[in-house]
Structure 1
Amino acid sequence: MKNWNETFRSLNVGLPDDVERLKAAGYYQEAIERIDAYLAEDWTVTQNSPRSQGAEPVGEELPQNPTPHGVEALRDAMLAQREIMRRIPAEYCYTEDEAVTRMQGLVRDFTREEFRLLVKEGRVDWRFVEGEKHYLDRFAETLLATHADLAARQIDPPAPGTSAREFRNRQHEQMERDGQASARITLKTSVGMSDEAFAAALAEAKAEGRNRVHVRAWLPIPAACLSQSEIELLDCTEPPARIADENAPQRTVFWEADLTENRRFGVEYRYRTTAVYTDPMDIRPDAQQPTFDTGEEAPHIVFTPYLRALAHQLTDGITDPAEKAKRIYDYVTLNVRYHYQPAYFVQECLPDQCARNRRGDCGIMALTFITLCRLVGIPAQWQSGLSVSLTGVGCHDWAMFYIAPKGWMYADCSFGASMARQGDEKMRRHYFGSLDTGRMVANRAFEAPFDPPMTGFRSDPYDNQSGECEVDGVGLYGDALDTRKELVNYEFL
């Protein structure tokens, strides 16, 4: 069975020029139709021969075509792009009128002129959809999170809660004093189909003569790593079919069931997390540094000409690997503006786009740091899972980098950029080398398969923070996929 997520490894191959032009203008349905035509083409019939001019060959047999079905890498690229273009309109769902109306419902005295100025300044993400500008579904959340003046004008501001900034400052002081901080965290998560998606899937199954749907579900769980220990699975909604090895690159618990009625799959787990304080600038690096985790990993960790030029500019003349890593961290945290993003599924070459456009979310900032580090010979890895605080649980990504003799250290560029916006230089520096205890690490690699693999298109083919669900071989995404996270207990040790 074909694993559709593997097609993304060919994403950078590109598209035929007519499809590329249609995609750029936002004519996604027409672009999909052209892709379908390309995929259906028999190159043996259309190869250079009398037949290509409407005449039958006379005499010798036609030579055998070495690529009768086309170039496989291009076919995979088109398969991935076809699914990307199916999903883009749901990500960019607001017209200008709708976007302005949404902001006017959130912010006092908001005007169309104000919105257009924000678009002109690059503060609002948009794409063409069927030739018309459409705006990202979470554009308003970005504006309220990153513009203090807009947040101050909110019609219904959120209730004040425990200050995350105060908590992180206190933890920094403890880590600097004691060398580390620890906590024991208990979380409960679940994944399932929306009732509407289940009803649609069951109706389709019955039309095919079946009275149930086959569901496969994956949830991320804590992996064994430097910062996590004492991992316990406390409870499951039902016995899982498989629990991935604790060292799996994307660790999951997996269920498989035939359902006549909709139900959720869930797990409750507990783990100990330890955050060690490290200042990379205090390290005297070895003369010989390792070369593992310094290569490209398409389609995103790729050494484009722009990234090569940037890496050279940032580190030219610098020999100390810690100083190189700091220069890269400074570039990302001081220049890249935080923006809520469309699903990574619909995006291409994330680090290159981030470095050019100077905007991204936690994962895009992390990938940019990783790629630039690898470009200058510093081993760097992905790490992700959940960010946990006393007030809630959310998805989060960050990076690791390696300098001998110290070993692996952390870089949380998103938190660092947040500290920069707040003018808190002490905490911006904290997240170069160190983290905090509010983490759940499930993933140590980007674009890693599950155990067992999911073969339908994932909601996110690269990362797994909330869970995935596949129904009769088709992966769910958007409103069809219902994921939940709940903090049960956060105990400081």
Structure 2
Amino acid sequence: MTKTITHYLIIVITFLCFSCESKDQQNGKLSLLIERGDYSVASNMINDKLEDKFLTEAQRIEFLHQLDMMRRIEREFSLSEADVIDHLSEYFGDSTTFYMPKWEEDKSLEFRLINGQKKYFKNGVSNLFRVNEFAKSRKEKLKGEYVDPLIAYCLDHTTELVKKTNGEGELINPVNNVFDYTIKLKADAVPAGETVRCWMPYPKENHARQQNVEFISINSEYYIIAPDSLPQRSIYCEKIAEAGKETIFNVKFKTTSFAQIFFPEQMKMKEYDKTSLIYIENTKERAPQIVFTDRIKKLADEICGDETDPLKQVDLLYNWIDINIPWASALEYGIMPHIPGYVLDNMHADCGMQTLLFMSMARYRGIPTKWQSGYMLHPGLVNLHDWCEVYYEGIGWVPLDQSFEMQKSDDQYVRHFYKTGIDAHRLIVNDDFSREFYPKKNWPRSEPVDFQRGELEWNGGNLYFSDWSYKMKVSYE
């Protein structure tokens, strides 16, 4: 009897092990399919798995997430090879197909293999003219040199700010801003009668540079303004979807924003108190974005060498990124597992990506940094924007905007303005990245790192950016 039971248990255990191994093999095959871009086959496999009535809720959510991620990537890489050739032929004629493999190899022209075809980043052509010097010079030769209105405005504006400041971090140049923010969910994006949950950006109040935050109105009877203590602040509301109609969310509020400038030679720093909470929290890793990989550590050490002064190290790191990592339109952050790693692979980045690389290297070198983001509000140039703050013992938090770069000026205060200063044209929504909302979101976010455009969901899942539009209107009193 004992032998029979033992034999039976061995059979059961063997069967269970075989079943587990079979599932592992299937999951391994699925991962391989996704990794090599065979999305159609992978999607069919996942849809088959979703029919399994023994699937756990966690497994179901994971499979749905994989489907969603493939759709997001396909949305980003939407240009065909023919599309790219058509766009570039204006500048390179019949030589376009000669140059393209070179640009693909050096990652000036970003693509992925999806379902056996090359698919190019939707902004890949415009990025090529930003990051590749040969392509850029060819375009300038045919179209003339492009003058960036933001760079021109900031140069003039910061020149005037430098004349007004004492360079000791005083708040100057107050600007009264009135915001009118709207999100429009496409008609019939969700079934009629379903509740749409919406989180819109709302200003932080615990900043000297952002004062007089005033709520004006919202087009919903039920809403929640998240506590200011939350690093990513939102205003939450709900609406019932109606058949054939857009679901519209709108909020209005005010702020007063200030410029702040520190002149480096007037910054009397003390030695860091490495036991303080500020130091510990803001020099540590925050996976998956701030991770001290071997590559990050090696690069930071090569840039800074034996330098130990925090301000000089910040200067060295800022300069290296400014020179080597040109600004370019970014993929959605949600499809990049480790953004600083992506930046070093591709050697271009947008504002937030440059900032995360800077923060990673600075934190590794023992310099406290903190993410900050929201909107830039320069007249006629309102847009999403990310920057950060650096903590100096004895001084406090000092703003730094990596993507606003070193300016072309003989005045050193103007040239290096954004290393230790910031203009007043900012809306601060976030003091960190990848933090929970209030109330908590049930489904994965469209943007898991930053929060500027908003987030929507319903009982059936997340509502991605392709399902809705947003518009920020800003006026100045």
Tell whether the structures are fold-level matches, with TM greater than 0.5. Answer: yes
1:23 aligns with 2:15: no
Instruction: Provide the aligned C-alpha RMSD in A.
Output: 3.4
Structure 2 residue 376 is the aligned partner of structure 1 residue 387: yes
CA contact (8 A) 2:220 2:239 kept: no
Q: Tell me what 1:227 maps to.
A: 209
Residue 284, structure 1, aligned to residue 268, structure 2: yes
Alignment-derived partner of residue 85 in structure 1: 70
Question: Among 253, 258, 268, which residue is 2:252 paired with?
Answer: 268
Please tell me the residue identity of whatever aligns with 1:357: N
Structure 2 match to 1:61: none
Which one-letter code corresponds to 1:467 in the other structure?
G
Distance 1:27 1:187, change over 3 A: same
Classify the secondary structure of the residue corresponding to 2:252.
Answer: strand
- Match 1:319 to one of 284, 308, 313: 308
List runs of 5+ in structure 1 lacking aligned partners: 1-14, 46-67, 203-210
> Which residue in the other structure is 2:417 paired with?
430
Seen in structure 2, the aligned counterparts of structure 1 residues 253 and 278 have a Cα distance that, compared at 3 Å, is same
Inter-CA distance 329–163: structure 2 relative to 1 (3 Å threshold):
closer
Secondary structure at 1:359 match in 2: coil
Q: What is the Cα deviation at residue 278 of structure 1? A: 1.2
From the superposition, tell whether residues 308 and 399 of structure 1 become closer, same or farther in structure 2 (CA, over 3 Å): same
Please tell me the residue identity of whatever aligns with 1:460.
E
In structure 2, how many angstroms separate the alpha carbons of the residues matched to 1:177 and 1:168? Answer: 15
Q: Secondary structure at the match of 2:280?
A: coil
Deviates more, 1:271-280 or 1:362-371: 271-280
Correspondence 1:130-279 to 2 at 5 A = 130-144=115-129, 148-149=136-137, 152=140, 164-179=151-166, 180-194=172-186, 198-202=187-191, 211-224=192-205, 225-260=207-242, 261-279=245-263
Give 1:200 deviation, angstroms. 4.4
- What are the equivalent positions in structure 2 for 1:4-153 lying under 5 Å apart? 18-32=29-43, 80-104=65-89, 112=96, 113-144=98-129, 148-149=136-137, 152=140
How has the CA–CA distance of structure 1 residues 39 and 353 changed in structure 2, closer, same or farther, with 3 Å as cutoff? farther
1:337 deviates by 1.8
Structure 1 residues 164, 329: CA separation in 2 closer, same or farther (over 3 Å shift)? closer
- 2:82 partner amino acid: D
Q: Distance in 1 between matches of 2:103 and 2:412?
A: 27
CA distance in 1, matches of 2:350, 2:197: 29
TM score, norm. by length of structure 2: 0.81
Q: Displacement, 1:228?
A: 0.2
Flag the 1:311–1:156 CA change in 2: closer, same or farther, 3 A: closer
Matching residue of 2:6 = none
Structure 1 residue 426: Cα displacement: 5.8
Q: In the alignment, which residue of structure 2 is the partner of 1:477?
A: 464
Structure 2, unaligned stretches of length 5 or more?
1-25, 167-171, 274-278
2:473 is matched with which residue?
486
Answering whether residue 445 of structure 2 is matched by residue 458 of structure 1, we say yes
CA distance 1:153–1:111, change in 2 (3 Å): farther
Q: Which moved more, 1:266-275 or 1:305-314?
A: 305-314
Distance 1:155 1:82, change over 3 A: same
2:21 corresponds in structure 1 to: none
1:477 shift after superposition: 1.6
Residue 453 of structure 2 aligns to which amino acid in structure 1? S
Q: Is the 8 A contact 2:307 2:313 kept in 1?
A: yes
TM-score (norm. length: structure 1): 0.78
2:429 maps to: 442
The code of the aligned residue for 1:429 comes to H
Q: 2:294 aligns with which of 305, 309, 317?
A: 305
State the alpha-carbon separation in 2 of the partners of residues 235 and 166 from structure 1: 32
Aligned to 2:10: none
Q: Residues of 2 paired with 1:404 and 1:412: CA distance?
A: 20
Deviates more, 1:313-322 or 1:25-34: 25-34
Shift of residue 483, structure 1, vs aligned partner = 0.9
Q: Which amino acid aligns with 1:230?
A: N
- CA separation of 1:76 and 1:379: change in aligned 2, threshold 3 A: farther
User: Against the structure 1 CA distance between its residues 465 and 251, is the aligned structure 2 distance closer, same or farther, given a 3 Å change threshold?
Assistant: same
Are the structure 2 counterparts of residues 474 and 148 from structure 1 closer, same or farther at C-alpha, using a change threshold of 3 Å? same
1:425–1:350 distance in 2 versus 1, CA, 3 Å:
farther
Distance in 2 of aligned mates of 1:347 and 1:423: 38
SS at 1:382 equivalent: strand
Counterparts in 2 of 1:474 and 1:176: CA distance versus 1, 3 Å: farther
SS in 1 for 2:190: helix
Tell me if structure 2 keeps the 8 A contact 1:175–1:181. Answer: no
SS in 1 for 2:78: strand
* Residues 220 and 394 of structure 1: CA distance in aligned 2, closer, same or farther (over 3 Å): same
| Structure 2: distance between partners of 1:35 and 1:282 | 60
Relative distance call for 1:162 and 1:243 in structure 2 (3 A) is same
Q: Give the Cα separation in 1 of the matches to 2:219 and 2:43.
A: 40
Whole-angstrom distance in 1 between the partners of 2:77 and 2:219: 35
- Selected match of 1:468 from 448, 455, 463: 455
* Deviation, structure 1 residue 301: 1.1
Q: How does 1:398-437 map to 2 (within 5 A)?
A: 398-416=387-405, 419=407, 427-437=414-424
- After TM superposition, the structure 1 stretch with the greater mean CA deviation from structure 2, 185-194 or 379-388, is 185-194
